[in-house]
Structure 1
Amino acid sequence: MTKRRRAAAVIVRDGRVLMVRERGRGPSGRHDGQEYWTLPGGGIGVGETAEDAVRREVVEEVGLRPVAVRYLLDVPYPSGLTSCFAVQVADGEPRLGDDRLPCDCPAMVGVDWVPLPQLQTETPGLPIPTMIVVWEPPT
């Protein structure tokens, strides 16, 4: 894990959480590698608070307008420690942001509402996946 700080949004609607599908670096060194789903979010800029970053990232990545933001917890991600926030957004449907980056970092390739897992817990709340990795089991 890197030392880069990140912020991510937990946006829940009708028993589903909004996630962004990304593709990492692959054999070519570009965006042709493993796919995974992750919460909308990204790096915290210099002089930016984690709350400011999550608000910016929601607009950039999924085109929704945050109306309320509440800190939840910090979660280790492969790309750095991530501050997760519960984010309420204005009405509207998400759309994939423009992620044409000149770098070899992961590229956004989709956005969708993913059903929340049905888990029995001892504490109140919702079980939220922070990342779902797509993999092919060995044959």
Structure 2
Amino acid sequence: MSNRQRAFAAIIENDCILMVHTVIGEKNYWTLPGGGLENEETFEEAVIREVQEEVNLKVKVIKHLYTNSYELGVEKCFLAQVVEQNSPIIGFDPELPLDQQELKEVKWQPIKEMAEDIQVSEVIRSLGL
């Protein structure tokens, strides 16, 4: 699997950033909602779809924050804003069977407490926080 482009959303409210808890085998971590682009999908379209799938929120993209390279390609992070006020709830990955879901929890994390996270540190730097 090569050239897997990914898009992530930084959703910030009340000095907190929305993150998902993911468990993949032995890996156990918090990350921004997002994932891989589907065929013919733009990064912006992907981030809107991924947020809907992973945390059941409708968002709009405000602006591009940063681009990084990773082992399989390029990933872009966007500042996104919730457009329908709902509480985030954990969604599911439609590519995985229900008994093998990797998303475990969604939570508003205090952005300052997550400053050591690679993605969050880039968001903080990009926004000048």
Indicate the residue corresponding to 2:90 in structure 1: 96
* CA deviation after TM superposition for structure 1 residue 131, in Å: 6.4
1:83 to 1:76, Cα distance in 2 relative to 1, 3 A? same
Q: Cα RMSD (Å) of the superposition?
A: 2.7
Paired residue total: 115
Indicate the residue corresponding to 2:51 in structure 1: 58
1:87 to 1:127, Cα distance in 2 relative to 1, 3 A? farther
* CA deviation after TM superposition for structure 1 residue 128, in Å: 7.5
| Structure 1: stretches of 5+ with no match in the other structure | 26-32, 119-125, 133-139
Q: C-alpha distance in 1, partners of 2:79/2:29?
A: 21
Amino acid at match of 2:6: R
Q: C-alpha distance in 1, partners of 2:110/2:10?
A: 13
| Structure 2: stretches of 5+ with no match in the other structure | 122-129
User: Identity of counterpart residues, as a percentage?
Assistant: 37
1:99 to 1:46, Cα distance in 2 relative to 1, 3 A? closer
Report the structure number with the largest CA radius of gyration: 1
TM-score (normalizing by structure 2): 0.76
Could you say what secondary structure the match of 1:11 adopts?
A: strand
Correspondence list, 1:32-51, <5 A: 33-51=26-44
* CA deviation after TM superposition for structure 1 residue 77, in Å: 4.6
TM-score (normalizing by structure 1): 0.71
2:16–2:108 Cα contact (<8 Å) kept: yes
1:17–1:115 Cα contact (<8 Å) kept: yes
1:66–1:87 Cα contact (<8 Å) kept: yes
Q: C-alpha distance in 1, partners of 2:42/2:7?
A: 9
